[in-house]
Amino acid sequence: MDVMFDCVAGLDVHKAMIVACVRKIVDGKVERECRTFETTTTSLLDLLEWLTESKCTHVAMEATGVYWKPVWNILSEGDFDLILANAAHIKNVPGRKTDVNDATWIADLVACGLIKPSFVPEEEIQELRSLQRARKQMIREQTRHTQRIQKTLEEANIKLDSVVSEIMGVSGRRMIEAMIEGVKNPTKLAALADRRLKASPKELYDALHGRLTDHHRFMLKLYLSQYDTLDKSIFEIDQKVDVAIERMDAEVAAGKATFRSLINLLSTVPGVSVLSATTILAEIGTNMNRFATAGHLVAWAGMCPGQNESAGKRKSSRLRKGAPWLKTMLVQCAWAAVKKKDSYYRAQFNRLKARGGAKKAICAVAASMLTAIHNMLKDGTEHIDLGADHFDKRNTDMKAKHLVHQLNKLGYNVDLQTLQKAA
């Protein structure tokens, strides 16, 4: 195997220790030196000094939980190319696994140029990504508390969710707060409903007529307070995100697009809100040059099926895991996009849904949206909707061939003749 780099290092990162292997070629022979370091800041600085003195040109390590991040932050100050590898892509042959062998194996791989670097964004983008992920986790936790409130009401035989679409909305919250304060009369609780509520007074009375005990009121108060605490934390995160964006925009060089302008640009995509655009940029960054094509970005996000072929036969393969935070946001945006009438995404969804089902269709729409986002960020252009009739405007021969194929499957022989237009 050809050696591309003469002096490299491989790191086997753990929680409390790091095994480093420096691989050199001296007089045509390979020499290796392995050392063990702790993960404290002082020890990591010693590791950086040793790698610098060894004149390593490339240093690689695998992504191990969150333990690689402090190592990356300190070693990124070194005068060498730092590479983060996907642990699933550099597995060694099982049976002889030790920390030293793992570090040696990583060093051998990077020396031959066989490690594909993982995408590691700038520190500012990493901070923004962490904030957006924390926000999403708190939203999920809020949803769990809402479900717990709904469960408590069901135990008290109060069917609030059957007459109110959102129990944490204006009307639902008023009624729950009144229940916590001790109001049991269904008529008084029903009077708290907003006038725009579609449920009739009789339906409200029947739904709110239950058996609410002191235990139920205590649990409702507990869950509601936790919901409000999370709501406050989400508001603080939003403020922190705004400050981070302003700081990044202040450091942008003249003539380059600001982060806020890119958010507004992505907001022109159907189904993408300001919050969604911020999350997408926090996950993929603003520099699309790191992805060779839009297809590379779609593959990195796990929005395209993997390849599974053997003996000349293509087997079914599911979507790869990819970037789960980005994938879930894209799918949510895709569901919002297909609701827009007379749009390309809705036409694409309806066309693919009939062939492979809603799940596959919505993933295809999300992949198309990510492709458009890549091109928008790379070229600085706004989104252009191809329209609902895009598939009808395609090449006539392709459409005719497809229709003939469908008729052949139904048992018909078709002979096509071109009609001459009247003069």
pLDDT tens digits, one per residue of 115-135? 988 888 888 899 999 999 999
Half-sphere CA count of 225, side-chain side, radius 13 A: 7
CB atoms within 10 A of CB 359: 11
Q: Which CATH number do you get for residue 207?
A: 1.10.287
pLDDT recorded at residue 61: 93
d(CA 362, CA 350): 10
pLDDT recorded at residue 253: 73
pLDDT recorded at residue 411: 87
Apex 359 CA angle, 358 and 364, nearest 5? 95
Asked if 84 and 192 sit in the same domain, the reply is no
Q: Is 182 helix (H, G, I), strand (E, B) or coil?
A: coil
Residues 6 or more apart in contact with residue 103 via CB below 8 angstroms: 10, 11, 12, 19, 20, 21, 34
Helices 170-181 and 214-250: crossing angle, nearest 10°? 140
Does residue 64 form part of some domain?
yes
Asked if 50 and 28 sit in the same domain, the reply is yes
Does residue 2 form part of some domain?
no
Domain boundary among 224, 248, 272: 248
d(CA 282, CA 241): 11
Asked if 357 and 298 sit in the same domain, the reply is yes
Structure tokens at 134: 């924390």
Does residue 345 form part of some domain?
yes
Does residue 120 form part of some domain?
no
The answer to whether the CB of 73 falls within 8 A of the CB of 63 is: no
pLDDT recorded at residue 423: 45
First to last CA, the chain: 70
CB atoms within 10 A of CB 116: 10
pLDDT in tens, 161-217: 888 888 998 889 999 999 999 988 989 988 888 888 888 888 889 999 989 999 999
Q: Is 341 helix (H, G, I), strand (E, B) or coil?
A: coil
The answer to whether the CB of 390 falls within 8 A of the CB of 344 is: yes
Does residue 180 form part of some domain?
yes
Asked if 330 and 399 sit in the same domain, the reply is yes
Structure tokens at 213: 């005990």
- List strand residue ranges (DSSP E) for 311-379, in order: 313-314
pLDDT recorded at residue 1: 66
d(CA 166, CA 173): 9
pLDDT recorded at residue 385: 87
pLDDT < 70: residue spans in the chain: 1, 316-317, 394-395, 419-423
Helices (H), 97-213: 99-111, 123-155, 170-181, 186-190, 201-208
The answer to whether the CB of 45 falls within 8 A of the CB of 15 is: no
Domain boundary among 78, 111, 144: 111
Domain of 22 in residue numbering reads as 8-111
DSSP 8-state symbol, 90: S
Q: Which CATH number do you get for residue 107?
A: 3.30.420.10
d(CA 400, CA 404): 6
Domain count across the chain: 3
Q: Torsion-angle region of residue 216: left (phi > 0), alpha (psi -120 to 50) or beta?
A: alpha
Asked if 417 and 348 sit in the same domain, the reply is yes
Residues 6 or more apart in contact with residue 242 via CB below 8 angstroms: none
DSSP 8-state symbol, 89: G
Helices 259-266 and 274-284: crossing angle, nearest 10°? 120
Structure tokens at 363: 């993933």
